[in-house]
Amino acid sequence: MKTTDTNTPRVLVADDQADVLEALRLLLKGEGYRIETVTSPAAVLEAVGARDFDLLLIDLNYTRDTTSGHEGLDLLTRLQQLDATLPVVVMTAWGSVELAVEAMRRGARDFIQKPWENARLLTVLRTQIELGRALRKGEQLEAENQLLRDGVKPPILLATSASMQPVLQLIESVGPSEANVLITGENGTGKEVVAQTLHALSPRAAKPMITVNVGALSEGTFESELFGHVKGAFTDAKTDRVGRFELADGGTLFLDEIANVPLAQQAKLLRVVETGEFERVGSSKTRRVDVRILSATNADLKEEIAANRFRQDLLFRLNTVEIHLPPLRERPEDIPLLARYFLNQHARRYRKPFNGFSADALAVLARYAWPGNVRELSHMVERAMLLAKGTMIEARDLNLQAGREPVRGLEEMNLDEVEAYLIRKTLARFDGNVNQAAEALGLSRSALYRRLQRYGL
């Protein structure tokens, strides 16, 4: 191995602001880096194509008056396609947590918020350069492969609470059967995880489980999606197409958001669920498949039936067994376990070592109402992990999150509290962007500022 100056790390810095580039150049030169600077995404791609770098430090915004970060995010995606082993650290404006999270999802190894702290920036760069070098030498290949393998494992259904025990028992007993199962529960309670678990426990596990979000299908596409079509059946039908029922033959079909199937299509669905028989659109040939049907909804189908929006005979075919998932707020005992599981998962994905949650943080998690249930918990842990300074998640890391509100109904607040609540929510929704929040709230910018002061926000 060459030793001379190949050990001097080469860093490419991209930002459209000259003062930022100058500050970084001074800082990094002083630390013995070789640094090159560019001012546009195009120049980044050109430089990466021409020379080897140990690390890229890139800004997400390049047109002065935009803060959307789209240019930076697109650049990230391109860089990932070119060379996924090249470490990229992104710079974001202070407070734009959503953007930082999105960048990490697209392959950034870490992020720095502007204005940055020199010490943190240097630590991040050093760590990522070392990791990147190891990765490229193949030292970490095994670990990476492990990561990939873990990534494709089906999700695990975690539950320790008393109210989840009947659910687990039901899953174990009906999983291996041929029974059609209707899974109900609020958004994010784990309905899809249950469907995957049922399929995995069944003799059909070696065959695919095909998922269709039937609620998202329009009247026009419903039949063709589910049953397929033959060439020429309608204007856009340029070739034959196999529908989801055929794809799932021998396996499991998971019909998600079942309550949203238009009434007019429910009869067609009923027939195939009852008999396994259907025709491709434009064909008169009857086909037959062997599928087990799992379905899910967050609606109350009894109510839908009473309102004549859902067919009772269809429900009877779908809910041979019904599994209801309680909302997370009714099973707070599950929160620490789930939180640790998500922390492990996200920490591994982002290659950040973490030890867990402080007692205060766990207490905050336990008190919250979780309107978005387990999915919200997962997102919150991901963000907290990205924001945390140390290797423990502290209560303050959770405080910054959108949607974190005490368990208290609006009707228990006075008007000022409701107003403050709404403002906090809206600001969080727009990542602290006062202009956008003011517009959404129907206030002028200065009126919003006055209220921010009044409520000490």
Specify the stretch interacting with Mg ion by CB under 5 A; choose among 28-36, 187-195, 310-318, 403-411.
Answer: 187-195
Joined together, the tokens standing for residue 320 give 């041979």
Comparison of 11 and 374: residue with beta carbon closer to ligand ATP: 374
Q: Give phi and psi for 263, each to the nearest 5.
A: -50, -40
Q: Which is nearer to ligand ATP, 296 or 420 (CB)?
A: 296
Pick 191 or 280: Cβ nearer ligand ATP:
191
Q: Minimum distance from CB of 210 to Mg ion (Å)? A: 15
- Residue 321's binding partner out of Mg ion, ligand ATP, none, with CB under 5 to 8 Å set by partner kind: none
d(CA 209, CA 198): 10
Least distance from ligand ATP to the Cβ atom of residue 323, Å: 11
C-alpha to C-alpha distance for 279 and 211, rounded to whole angstroms: 20
Question: With contact defined as beta carbons under 8 Å apart, do 40 and 16 qualify?
Answer: yes
Determine how many CB atoms are found less than 10 A away from the CB of residue 352: 17
Q: What angle do CA 187, 193, 194 make, to 5 degrees?
A: 95
Q: How far apart are CA 394 and CA 359, in angstroms?
A: 8
Closer to Mg ion by Cβ: residue 192 or 439: 192
Q: Which residue is nearest to ligand ATP (CB)?
A: 190
Smallest gap from Cβ 252 to ligand ATP, in A, equals 15
Among Mg ion, ligand ATP, none, the one that 157 touches (CB under a kind-dependent 5 to 8 A) is ligand ATP
CA 68 to chain centre: 19
CB of 368 to Mg ion, least distance (A): 21
Residue 189 partner contact from ligand ATP, Mg ion, none using kind-dependent CB cut-offs of 5 to 8 Å: ligand ATP
State which residue, 28 or 261, has the beta carbon closest to ligand ATP. Answer: 261
Q: How far is the CB of 71 from ligand ATP (least distance, A)?
A: 29
Q: Could you give the angle at the alpha carbon of 255 between the alpha carbons of 237 and 220, nearest 5°?
A: 30
Q: How far apart are CA 68 and CA 62, in angstroms?
A: 10
In terms of CB distance, is 31 or 192 closer to Mg ion? Answer: 192
Contacts with Mg ion, 188-227, as mask; x by CB under 5 A:
----x-----------------------------------
> Which does residue 169 bind out of Mg ion, ligand ATP, none, counting CB within 5 to 8 angstroms by kind?
none
* Interaction partner, residue 372 (Mg ion, ligand ATP, none; CB < 5-8 Å by kind): none
Q: Considering beta carbons, is residue 117 or 150 the nearer one to ligand ATP?
A: 150
Q: Which residue lies nearer to ligand ATP by CB, 328 or 427?
A: 328
Residues in contact with ligand ATP by the rule CB under 6 A: 155-159, 185, 187-193, 298, 338, 374-375, 378
Closest CB 191 distance from Mg ion, rounded Å: 5
Kindly state the smallest distance separating residue 64's Cβ from ligand ATP, in Å: 38
CA distance 371 to 200: 29
At which residue do the structure tokens 């906090």 appear?
A: 424
- Tokens at 163, concatenated: 């109210």
The least distance separating ligand ATP from the CB of residue 176, rounded to whole angstroms, comes to: 20
How long a stretch of residues is the chain? 457
Nearer Cβ to ligand ATP (14/318): 318
Find the shortest distance in angstroms from Cβ 190 to ligand ATP. 3
Query: With CB cut-offs between 5 and 8 Å by kind, which of ligand ATP, Mg ion, none does residue 184 bind?
Result: none
Which residue's C-beta sits nearest to Mg ion?
Answer: 192
Question: Min. distance of Cβ 376 from Mg ion in angstroms?
Answer: 13
End-to-end CA distance of the chain: give it in Å, rounded. 56
Question: Residue 186, interface with Mg ion (CB under 5 A)?
Answer: no
439 touches Mg ion (CB under 5 A): no
Instruction: Calculate the CA dihedral of residues 414, 417, 418, 422 and round it to 10 degrees.
Output: 180
Phi, psi of 213 (to 5 degrees): -85, 90
Complex with ligand ATP: residue 223 or 256, whichever CB lies closer: 256
Residue 72 interaction partner, one of Mg ion, ligand ATP, none, beta carbon < 5-8 Å per kind: none
| Residues making contact with Mg ion (CB under 5 A) | 192
